[in-house]
Amino acid sequence: MRFFSYVMAMVLWASVPAAGQSNLRTLDAATLAQHYGAVGRLDLGQGGFCTGALISADVVLTAAHCVFDRATARRISVGEMSFHAGLADGRALATRGVIAAVTHPGYQFNQSNRVERVGNDLALVRLSAPITGPGLRPFRTQLQVHPGTHVEVVSYARGRSNAPAVEDGCGVLTRDATVLVLSCEVDFGASGAPIFQRFGDEVRIVSVVSSKAAWKDRSVSLAAVMDAELAVLVDAYRADLGDVSAIETVSARR
């Protein structure tokens, strides 16, 4: 496939720090609590972190690679993880420990083709107790996102670990059956960040940030196409941990 061949040659740039990020806008505590309180920082032990978002009161959607130790390629102990919802100015609306993490059955951390693993780079993290309260309503997920769709990303990242930023001026450049290519700017720590599509006053998660790359001589970000893969992940979660009926997915635009 020409699309994969081209991005594969460029994805080696994924370790190069992003430049500029002029479209990012830091969210203050009030704005975060009002609109994006269910987004949080997922701490991973040893000072590492990713971004995640509640899709039910006790389940966080993030990237699968976040639950692996990069140096050892082993799963990180859930005892070393914690989720800080609505973290801004160093204070969270709620903090919970993690008791389980389920990755997409097709995800392989050590897969040599880094682009192909993007399509399965999804995980569900179960919290030690539900998170509820004002501004903490879980997000619905939205399938069937198309090229040309305007999206926004809310993420924590290097240099802004205690307050998230939103980029609302980016979009889906192209896609194939498994990978989305977006114009959104990301940096280390933004892995797992929710990619939102807006429907009136509601934002729905269409995917999560997997990595950054370069495509056609421009910086881009990559994410999984969730059309079928989220259902596969939810089925794996159910098999391991029980029902997740509170997760609400919208399969058509409405």
Closest to 122 in 3D by CA, of 173, 67, 169:
67
Superfamily covering domain 2-250: Trypsin-like serine proteases (2.40.10.10)
* Rounded Cα distance, 122 and 236, in Å: 12
Say if CB 114 and CB 11 are below 8 A apart. yes
Say if CB 121 and CB 17 are below 8 A apart. no
Nearest-5° angle of CA 82, CA 83, CA 84?
125
Q: Residue 245: what pLDDT?
A: 62
What SS3 state is found at 144? coil
What SS3 state is found at 93? coil
Quote the percentage of the chain above a pLDDT of 90: 59
Q: Residue 251: what pLDDT?
A: 56
Q: Residue 14: what pLDDT?
A: 34
* Rounded Cα distance, 238 and 240, in Å: 5
Q: Residue 246: what pLDDT?
A: 67
Q: Name 196's Cβ contacts closer than 8 Å, sequence gap at least 6.
A: 139, 151, 152, 153, 154, 203, 204, 205, 206
* Rounded Cα distance, 173 and 178, in Å: 14
CA pseudo-torsion sign 137, 28, 19, 49: negative
Say if CB 223 and CB 209 are below 8 A apart. yes
Q: Residue 98: what pLDDT?
A: 97
DSSP state of 76: P
The C-alpha R_g of the chain, in whole angstroms, comes to 16
* Rounded Cα distance, 231 and 249, in Å: 9
* Rounded Cα distance, 81 and 11, in Å: 28
Q: Name 245's Cβ contacts closer than 8 Å, sequence gap at least 6.
A: none
What does the pLDDT look like over 146-184, one tens digit per residue?
999 999 999 998 888 998 999 988 999 999 999 999 999
DSSP state of 137: P
Question: pLDDT 10s per residue in the chain (254 long)?
Answer: 445 545 543 433 333 333 334 578 888 888 888 889 999 999 998 879 999 999 999 999 999 999 999 889 899 999 999 999 999 988 999 999 999 999 999 999 988 777 888 999 999 999 999 999 988 999 999 988 999 999 999 999 888 899 899 998 899 999 999 999 999 988 888 999 999 999 998 999 999 999 988 888 888 999 999 989 999 999 999 998 877 666 767 654 44
What does the pLDDT look like over 180-190, one tens digit per residue?
999 998 888 89
